[in-house]
Chains A and B, each alone.
Chain A
Amino acid sequence: GIQVEQSPPDLILQEGANSTLRCNFSDSVNNLQWFHQNPWGQLINLFYIPSGTKQNGRLSATTVATERYSLLYISSSQTTDSGVYFCAVDPVVSNQFYFGTGTSLTVIP
């Protein structure tokens, strides 16, 4: 099956810092999503981004499908950004999403 690798696995930031999270995938995909799981376990959809760039406030995402990667940018990080960030991909030969193992982000004041 498709391999979905996220890096870095863990990240600690000072409040106000910027960061880039990466998602690499091994096969062609139809779709890609980014999620944030907060410390209480709730999963929130951040972006649905099969290709191109999208922005939502301090967060933005870019997917380069031809090169099989996506990036999530977090600017001016806040303590509420802490949690685990997952990317999930929908391979061309499948009709279900496969999740990466996530990047655990801790933002310290």
Chain B
Amino acid sequence: NAGVTQTPKFRVLKTGQSMTLLCAQDMNHEYMYWYRQDPGMGLRLIHYSVGEGTTAKGEVPDGYNVSRLKKQNFLLGLESAAPSQTSVYFCASSMRDNYGYTFGSGTRLTVV
């Protein structure tokens, strides 16, 4: 049972490049989330999904897009990367909205 798997683990992008982060969970969870973690600011929610085919904006959605075409996968896209998007990105999932989260191991993204 792998839990929540994030790929890639590390990535360096040039300003203006695009990329997609993949989150996969094998726990049949309905809810999935993308957070970013910056020094001194805790974790902030970017986007989330309450089920296959649904997405919603979180606290800091600008510059990101997401898709949930399959229940087990939640993709986070950066269309035109900016240095301000340098961060550690975490994916999480939960059975539903009043259950605890399971986090992936994170993706460290640097935009130069």
Contacts and interface: CB of A to CB of B under 8 A. Distances in A.
User: Size range of the interface on B?
Assistant: 20 to 34
A98 B105 contact: no
B106 A86 contact: no
Interface in A29-46: 30-31, 33, 35, 41-45
Contacts, number: 50
B27 interface: no
A48 B42 contact: no
Contacts of A90: 97
7 contacts: A42-B106, A45-B101, A90-B97, A96-B48, A97-B45, A99-B44, A101-B42
Interface of B: 33, 35, 40-45, 48, 58-59, 88, 90, 92, 97-103, 105-106
Interface of A: 1, 4, 30-31, 33, 35, 41-45, 47-48, 50, 86, 88, 90, 95-102
